[in-house]
Structure 1
């Protein structure tokens, strides 16, 4: 299988005043194309920091990341942004929808930025897939949390990403709504052949993926392939 993400000896630290805080140390793993992969661990273990580094939103202090066959450490900020726009999708815990745009407009924006002349049509199709064809003209404030996350799901898949990063995608949802969103996420992921990497503290969600990487105090303590 093709490796879509290779992480080698990754390290990341921050300074708090004069004190150096090591967030991640000696992190190495790889993810295969079209796989489902989960990063788990307690609060403060470095999960979200690792996700940001893998997605090329930030740069490590040491080590290397190869994302979609591209060594990200050799890229300028503009080149990394271009890589994300072309290859990467994101889903966040707090939805991050634009409040002044309708559901349809929120999903169409990434497509319009790419110059896609069929942006509205594709956005409409994606919103239909997530069961929101009757909410196209609604603004985020007029949608429930679950509906907002479904709009975010449609937006994440709008540019047909090679790899999708989801940071606590059910963190702001009740259990029943979260379950429906996760089912949609996995269904869309399978249908569109995307690689899925999820950060979560939800063990039930983690066990739905093919691989679980467990962090503790910035180090890998477990790297498990799940029996399916």
Structure 2
């Protein structure tokens, strides 16, 4: 199998006052193309920091990350942004929709920024897939939390990403709505053949993926495959 994400000897520290706080200690793992992969651990275990580094949103102190065949440390800020726009999708806990744009615009704008001519058609198609066919013109404030997260999922798949990072995608939703969002995420993922990396503290959600990496105190304490 081809590895879409390859992480080697990753370290990350932040200065907190006069102290240096190491958030990730010498971390190594890889994720294969089209795999579903969970990164689990308690709050403060380094999950979100790790996601930011893997997606090229932040730089590591040392170590290497290869994403979609490209070594991130060799890229400038702008080059990393171009790689993300082309290859990476995101779903966040707090939806991160633009409040002044309609559901359709939220999904289509990233495509328009890339110069796609059919952004609106792709946006409509994705919103229909996530069950929001009748809500194209609604603004985020007119949608429930679950509906907003559906828009966010549609937006994440709009650029046909090679890899999708979902950071606590059900964190702000009730259990029933959260289950529906996860089902949707896995369904769309299968259809699109995307690699899915989910950051979660929910062991039940982690069990749905093919492989799990467990973090504690910025270290990998366990890595296992689900059978």
Common fold by TM > 0.5? yes
CA distance in 1, matches of 2:183, 2:26: 33
Give unpaired runs (5+ residues) of structure 1: none
Aligned length: 227
Deviation at residue 17 of structure 1 after TM alignment: 1.1
TM-score (norm 2): 1.00
CA distance in 2, matches of 1:65, 1:125: 34
Task: Report the 3-state secondary structure (helix = DSSP H, G, I; strand = E; otherwise coil) of the residue aligned with 1:212.
Answer: strand
Paired position in structure 2 for 1:125? 125
Paired position in structure 2 for 1:189? 189
Paired position in structure 2 for 1:163? 163
For the pair 1:204 / 2:204, whether they are aligned, the reply is yes
TM-score (norm 1): 0.99
Deviation at residue 154 of structure 1 after TM alignment: 0.2
Paired position in structure 1 for 2:53? 53
Deviation at residue 18 of structure 1 after TM alignment: 1.0
Paired position in structure 1 for 2:83? 83
Deviation at residue 28 of structure 1 after TM alignment: 0.2
Task: Report the 3-state secondary structure (helix = DSSP H, G, I; strand = E; otherwise coil) of the residue aligned with 2:65.
Answer: strand
Paired position in structure 1 for 2:42? 42
CA distance in 2, matches of 1:76, 1:153: 28
Give unpaired runs (5+ residues) of structure 2: none
CA distance in 1, matches of 2:149, 2:47: 21
Task: Give structure 1 regions of 4+ aligned residues with deviation exceeding 6 angstroms.
Answer: none
CA distance in 1, matches of 2:181, 2:216: 27
Deviation at residue 92 of structure 1 after TM alignment: 0.2
RMSD after superposition:
0.4
Deviation at residue 139 of structure 1 after TM alignment: 0.2
CA distance in 2, matches of 1:138, 1:82: 29
Deviation at residue 223 of structure 1 after TM alignment: 0.5
Paired position in structure 1 for 2:12? 12
